[in-house]
C-alpha cells in the first residue's frame, strides 16, 4: 500500500513537472521550444546574464564567427552592467526579458511576476532605447494566468531545450557540448547559461561549451538565427 502511494505521488509530481516546467509542454498555450524545421537552422539562447567576463567572452566568440544569438537577461544583472547589454545589442544580437530577480517565490503569484516583467522592460527600455517583445520565464515556469498575462501585454514567451541538465554545475565543457549537439535538430532553440540566477558566478565551462557546440553544428551545416527570425515574430515593440 505504502509503495503504491509513493509511486502515485511520484507520478503526480512528474506529471506536474511536465505540465509546468518541461520545455516540451504546451498544455497552457503556445510556449515554443522550437521553430520551423524545414531549414537547417538553430537559435542559440543565453539566460541569466549579463555576467562578466563570461557574457562578453561568448559575444566575442559569436561575433568572430558572424553568428547572432538571443540573450534573455535578468533585470538586476542588466542594472549591474548596462554597458554589456548595450554592447550585445550594438553587435546585432537580440535581448529578451528574463524577469527582474529570478527568484522562485516570485513566480507563484502571477501579479508579482507581471510586475517583475514590467520593471525589467523598463530597465531594458532605458538601456536599449527600445522595448523587447520576447520573454522567457525562469526555469521555463508556466501556468495559464502567466501565459495569459504575457499575451495580454503582447509579449511572446520563448522556451527552448536545455543544453545539458548539469550545465548549472559547470561540468566539463566537452560533456555539455556533446549533449547539446545530440539534442539539436533543425529548428531547435538551444539554452545555455552565461549567468546563474541573478548571482553570476564562474561560467567558463559554458563559454568553452558554446564554442565546441557551435563549431560542431557549423560542421554539420547548421546556420544560426535569432529567436525572432526563427519564430517569425518581432523582437521589439515598434516605438
Ligand atoms: Zn534563468
By three-state DSSP, how is residue 109 classified? coil
pLDDT of residue 28: 45
The whole-angstrom separation of Cα 203 and Cα 167 is 9
Centre of ligand 1 from the C-alpha of residue 176, in Å: 17
Place of cell 509546468: 20
Q: Is the peptide bond before 53 cis (omega within 30 degrees of 0)?
A: yes
What's this model's pTM, rounded to 2 decimal places? 0.89
Q: State mean pLDDT over 64-89.
A: 98
Q: 40-60: b or e for each residue (b if 16 or more CB lie within 10 Å)? A: ebbbbbbbbbbbbebbbbbbe
Centre of ligand 1 from the C-alpha of residue 138, in Å: 4
Domain annotation for the chain: domains and CATH numbers:
32-231 (3.20.20.370)
pLDDT at 72 over 80: yes
pLDDT of residue 94: 98
Between the alpha carbon of residue 223 and those of residues 78, 86, 103, 175, the distances in Å are: 28, 25, 34, 22
pLDDT of residue 39: 93
Centre of ligand 1 from the C-alpha of residue 198, in Å: 8
The whole-angstrom separation of Cα 187 and Cα 224 is 10
Centre of ligand 1 from the C-alpha of residue 1, in Å: 39
Q: State mean pLDDT over 69-96.
A: 98
pLDDT digits (tens, 9 = 90+) for 126-150: 999 999 999 999 988 877 888 889 9
Instruction: List, as ranges, residues with CB under 5 A of the ion ligand 1.
Output: 47-48, 138
Amino acid at each position: 500500500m505504502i509503495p503504491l502511494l509513493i509511486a502515485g505521488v511520484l507520478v503526480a509530481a512528474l506529471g506536474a513537472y511536465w505540465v509546468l516546467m518541461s520545455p516540451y509542454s504546451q498544455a497552457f498555450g503556445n510556449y515554443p521550444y522550437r521553430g520551423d524545421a524545414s531549414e537547417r537552422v538553430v537559435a542559440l539562447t543565453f539566460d541569466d546574464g549579463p555576467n562578466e567576463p563570461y557574457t562578453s567572452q561568448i559575444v566575442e566568440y559569436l561575433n568572430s564567427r558572424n553568428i547572432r544569438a538571443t540573450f534573455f537577461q535578468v533585470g538586476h544583472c542588466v542594472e549591474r552592467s548596462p554597458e554589456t547589454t548595450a554592447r550585445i545589442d550594438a553587435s546585432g544580437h537580440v535581448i529578451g526579458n528574463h524577469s527582474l530577480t529570478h527568484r522562485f517565490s516570485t513566480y507563484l503569484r502571477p501579479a508579482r511576476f507581471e510586475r517583475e516583467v514590467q520593471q525589467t522592460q523598463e530597465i531594458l527600455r532605458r538601456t536599449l532605447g527600445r522595448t523587447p517583445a520576447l520573454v522567457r520565464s525562469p526555469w521555463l515556469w508556466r501556468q495559464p494566468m502567466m501565459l495569459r498575462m504575457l499575451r495580454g501585454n503582447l509579449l511572446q514567451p520563448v522556451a527552448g531545450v536545455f543544453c545539458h541538465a548539469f550545465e548549472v554545475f559547470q561540468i566539463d565543457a566537452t560533456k555539455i557540448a556533446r549533449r547539446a549537439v545530440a539534442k539539436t535538430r533543425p529548428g531547435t532553440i538551444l539554452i545555455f547559461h552565461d549567468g546563474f540566477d541573478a548571482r553570476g558566478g564562474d561560467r567558463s565551462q559554458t563559454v568553452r561549451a558554446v564554442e565546441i557546440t557551435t563549431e560542431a553544428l557549423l560542421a554539420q551545416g547548421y546556420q544560426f538565427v535569432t529567436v525572432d527570425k526563427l519564430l517569425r515574430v518581432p523582437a521589439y515593440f515598434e516605438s
